């Protein structure tokens, strides 16, 4: 049973993100699913309808984004998954001009599955690294250099 939940979350990254199958959102994410951690605030988005604007914003800034699932484990209906994304910042959909920079972003997600769909998701990703790569914040200053 746990393998089925892992495959569900892997499908999300492969089909929704890498293949850009927008219709897969409705197949894999429950209509009333609660998704946390997509942006800078503590906002919660509900279901595919709530997720789509965040998805479109990220694709607007990084149209070539590709996710690689590095690790995934599950206990019962809860899946923990670690990912790496690589993309080129060619759009201004994050509120800053495109830089043309290729970025690598890492992150993790915990997702709860029920009846073959994700019903909750908690995202944690390197937003500071993304902000640095897109010129929104300066890089670290090494003391003594």
The 10s digit of each residue's pLDDT in 103-130 is 999 999 999 999 999 999 999 988 878 8
User: What pLDDT is attached to residue 95?
Assistant: 81
- CATH code, residues 2-133: 3.10.450.50
* pTM assigned to the model: 0.88
**What is each CA distance from 19 to 2, 5, 15, 64, 98, in whole angstroms?**
24, 20, 5, 10, 23
DSSP element (H, E) containing 121: strand 117-125
Q: What is the pLDDT along the chain (145 residues), one digit of tens a residue?
A: 478 999 999 999 999 999 999 999 999 999 999 999 886 566 899 999 999 999 999 999 999 999 999 999 999 999 999 999 999 999 988 788 899 999 999 999 999 999 999 999 999 988 878 887 777 777 666 776 5
Map out the domains of the chain as residue ranges. Answer: 2-133
């Amino acid at each position: 049973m746990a393998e089925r939940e892992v495959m569900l979350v892997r499908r999300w990254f492969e089909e929704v993100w890498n293949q850009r199958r927008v219709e897969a959102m409705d197949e894999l994410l429950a209509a009333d699913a609660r998704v946390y951690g997509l942006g800078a605030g503590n906002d919660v988005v509900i279901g595919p309808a709530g997720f789509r604007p965040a998805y479109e914003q990220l694709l607007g800034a990084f149209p070539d984004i590709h996710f690689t699932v590095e690790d995934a484990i599950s206990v019962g209906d809860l899946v923990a998954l670690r990912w790496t994304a690589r993309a080129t910042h060619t759009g201004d959909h994050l509120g800053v001009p495109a830089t043309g920079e290729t970025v690598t972003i890492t992150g993790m997600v915990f997702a709860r599955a029920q009846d073959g769909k994700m019903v909750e998701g908690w995202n944690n990703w390197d937003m500071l690294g993304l902000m640095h790569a897109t010129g929104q914040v300066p890089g670290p200053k090494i003391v003594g250099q």
